[in-house]
Chains A and B, each alone.
Chain A
Amino acid sequence: MPQQNMIQALNAAQDILLERDPNVVIFGEDTGYFGGVFRATDGLQAKHGLQRVFDSPITEAGIIAMAIGMGANGLRPIAEIQFSDYIFPGFDQIISELSRLRYRSAGQYTAPVTVRSPWGGGIRGGQTHSMSPEAFFTHIPGIKVVVPSTPHDAKGLLISAVEDDDPVIFFEPKRLYNGPFDGDHEAAAKSWAQHSGGDVPDGHYTVPLGKAKVVRAGKDASIITYGTMVHVALAAVAKSGIDAEIIDLRTLAPVDLDTITWSVEKTGKCVIVHEAPKTSGFGAELSAAIQENCFYHLEAPITRVTGWDTPYPHAHEWEYFPSQARIINALQHVMKV
């Protein structure tokens, strides 16, 4: 099977979507001629033309608004927001218009818009290029939120997202673009070529939205996570000596509560891991939902390992970024309670 990194997989997904459906268009800041600051749309304008793949001015509100108008009128736009930190000027459009169009029009209009955006930290991006703003979006009825953790899932999920008739926010863990990153920033960078998640089939395939994946089976505790932290959790569990199950959510909204409940009822212990700040983060929702559904099976407090409640630091990135050691501590904590 061909080996691809996440950028190549996303590029291939978009190429296939453009090929198969004349209504698919791609635009954003630098997505056209330049091929995207992370190269996710490299070569697509040359192949599919200026009408299908083009550059927008630097106006996130404008990018989202244009995508909504196109979507409501029958196109299937993929709008790129260059960094998820830049998504805020487009908030009003995403929430007031995009997420509510189907509801407000009683089903007369939908907006099959996919908003792609590089997300998360670990690349020395500082405060305004490292955010994980997923909790803002998981709170909003009417939009789906996806975070892949491998090139294979990135391609299959992006195709599902674009083919979905409702809006999807597609966050791409930018630290995973070029290789699986397990949190050890001093080790040599690894490539997707040596990772099974880098096996990306040619052509069209989908990974379903709303379905989590058990990436490591275990019986002692459940780790619920997504994005970059899937790989950090895998490395932490390997060192911990604890037989923890790891669930990669892949879709945060709608979240796959069945898989989570199945796992936590089995293990009785749960650790939630994400990069975003703790307070009112998506982990809070997961914890609240898990204790509602698994209360009588829980044998220890649900523990959250998250970024700290500060803006994302530049100098102290590795003190902020949840480490293998913090995950191991949390596992030991829930095991000894």
Chain B
Amino acid sequence: MPVEILMPALSPTMEEGTLSKWLVKEGDTVSPGDLLAEIETDKATMEVEAVDEGTVGKLLVDEGTEGVPVNTPIAMLIAEGEDATAVVSAPSATPTPPVASAVPEVVAVVVSTSEVAADPDIPAGTEFVKITVREALRDAMAEEMRRDESVFVMGEEVAHYQGAYKVTQGLLDEFGEARVVDTPITEHGFAGLGVGAAFGGLRPIVEFMTFNFAMQAIDQIINSAAKTLYMSGGQMGCPIVFRGPNGAASRVAAQHSQDYSSWYAHVPGLKVVAPWSAADAKALLKAAIRDPNPVIFLENELLYGKSYDVPVLDDYVLPIGRARVVREGADVTIVSYSRGMEHALEAANALATEGLSAEVIDLRTLRPLDTATVVASVKKTNRCVTVEECWPVCGIGSEISAVLVAEAFDYLDAPVTRVTAKDVPLPYAANLEKLALPGSVDVIEAARAVCYRS
């Protein structure tokens, strides 16, 4: 079957781009990894690679075309024996297999509200509005900046560019350059400035373009921000939020894909929040900004554009340190957070069709960890699967497993089983990336195993 090659997105916010140059012509044979074309936006230029092998049957967009919307078919690839002329008349309605696109398919999780337990923190009768995680984070910052003039935002491209991922959109217009500050490209420098500002009485929100770059600043985070309240005998604290995207996105390779959850969760003096839904992102970011301690706020690039119901409340704040039972069940407890929740809920839906009732817990905060909620659930279900995009060794699942084996030992009917990323740097190649990251299939298999179903 002919395979459509789609206009890729260079970033989650990209809507269209210029197809500046074709690097193949009709009739060329290509193998996975071969360069097909150059794509350009105002921000970057990227080459599109072939995912499948085949022959270039038809180029559908001329080179030099501007304003090509993301996901528009730009070329057709045909297999051996297929006729290029058939491609031209191929009905566009033909469903294409997900592997065919140049952009890795991100499977949208459809979780109907009836499957998700009502949030006990939201009063009955509250009105909801559907907004993206990106907007929820911005709203949280804007509300807190209106409420407290000591709150300010800084980071690379947070002001004039409105954020590398557009999370700070509109903040410069409303709050001005004194409170929405573009920094030079020096994580060590601006994290240090933020820590100093917090020591001096301000409440900085420091955005890292991604948490991968925060490794440059981790000495400031651990040795300065996390330890000072303790070292000063309580005389000087550090009310600061370090936020930004964490974990894997789409094909950004080993140095842009690490999940730092368990690292920060190991550090005394820090709080670590990693929300999944837009409502939690908003309510917990507000709590993080108000918290008198340094808070690591781990977002997920692939969730930024996802929409969720957010309660319409004047001041919706949730306490840090409380997990939520998102779906009730009886046979197995699935514990996750951030994007892992998508895999967990997808698996729970699938398991239900096999007669297995999974309880799904969203940790929301990774430090302090709400172990009471997890232990109570496992005492009921007697089995536990943890789901995360961290590496396996010393991951969040390791800590949960250790807590359960210490506190729920006599209730466990099966080993606590960890679903994690593979123990390798995240590969760039699309097929390997897919194999390295956990998905709902892994969760389903783990849940079946702990329930002794093959």
Contact = CB atoms under 8 A, between A and B. Distances in A.
B393 A285 contact: yes
Given A103-B254, A310-B268, A287 B406 contact: yes
Interface stretch (A17-25, A108-116, A199-207, A299-307): A299-307
Contacts of B128: none
Given A88-B222, A277-B268, A141 B406 contact: no
Interface in B380-432: 390-391, 393-399, 401-402, 405-407, 409, 412, 414-418, 423-425
B394 A135 contact: yes
Contacts of B254: 96, 100, 103-104
Given A89-B188, A136-B266, A277-B266, A100 B255 contact: yes
Contacts of A128: 223, 227
A258 interface: no
Nearest to B402: A287
B187 to A, nearest CB: 9
A140 interface: yes
A139 interface: yes
Contacts of B223: 85, 88, 128
B415 A139 contact: no
A284 B263 contact: no
Contacts of A287: 398, 401-402, 405-406
Chain A interface bracket (under 10, 10 to 19, 20 to 34, 35 or more): 35 or more
Nearest to B397: A288
A327 B367 CA distance: 26
Interface in B226-269: 226-227, 230-231, 254-255, 258, 262-263, 265-269
Contact of A280 (B222, B226, B265, B391): B265
A311 B268 contact: yes
- Most chain-A CB neighbours within 10 Å: which of B263, B369, B417, B424? B263
Interface stretch (B74-82, B201-209, B211-219, B303-311): B211-219
Contacts of B405: 287-288, 291, 298, 301-302
A301 B410 CA distance: 8
B410 to A, nearest CB: 8
Contacts of A136: 263, 266
A304 B405 CA distance: 11
Contacts of B414: 295
A295 B401 CA distance: 12
B273 to A, nearest CB: 15
A37 B383 CA distance: 51
Contacts of A303: 406
Nearest to B371: A279
Given A287-B406, A292-B417, A141 B424 contact: yes
A284 B402 CA distance: 5
A235 B64 CA distance: 76
A280 B399 contact: yes
A291 B408 CA distance: 12
Given A88-B222, A100-B254, A136-B266, A291 B416 contact: yes
A323 interface: no
A34 interface: no
A237 B286 CA distance: 49
A61 B216 CA distance: 9
A276 B254 CA distance: 28
Nearest to B265: A280
Contact of B406 (A95, A140, A253, A301): A301
A280 B262 contact: yes
- Most chain-B CB neighbours within 10 Å: which of A140, A279, A282? A279
B425 A284 contact: no
A318 to B, nearest CB: 17
Given A288-B398, A292-B415, A279 B266 contact: yes
Contacts of B406: 287, 301-304
Contacts of B402: 283-288, 302, 304
15 contacts: A85-B223, A91-B215, A96-B255, A139-B395, A141-B423, A279-B265, A280-B262, A280-B266, A280-B399, A287-B402, A288-B398, A292-B417, A292-B418, A302-B405, A308-B268
Given A139-B391, A277-B267, A292-B418, 18 more contacts: A61-B216, A85-B223, A88-B218, A92-B215, A92-B216, A92-B218, A95-B215, A96-B255, A135-B394, A136-B266, A279-B369, A280-B367, A281-B266, A288-B397, A295-B412, A300-B409, A301-B405, A311-B230
Interface of A: 61, 85, 88-89, 91-92, 95-96, 99-100, 103-104, 126-128, 135-136, 138-142, 253, 276-277, 279-289, 291-292, 295, 298, 300-304, 308-311, 313, 337
- Sorted nearest first, the 10 A-B pairs with minimum C-beta distance are A287-B402, A288-B401, A88-B219, A92-B215, A301-B409, A280-B266, A139-B394, A295-B415, A288-B398, A284-B398
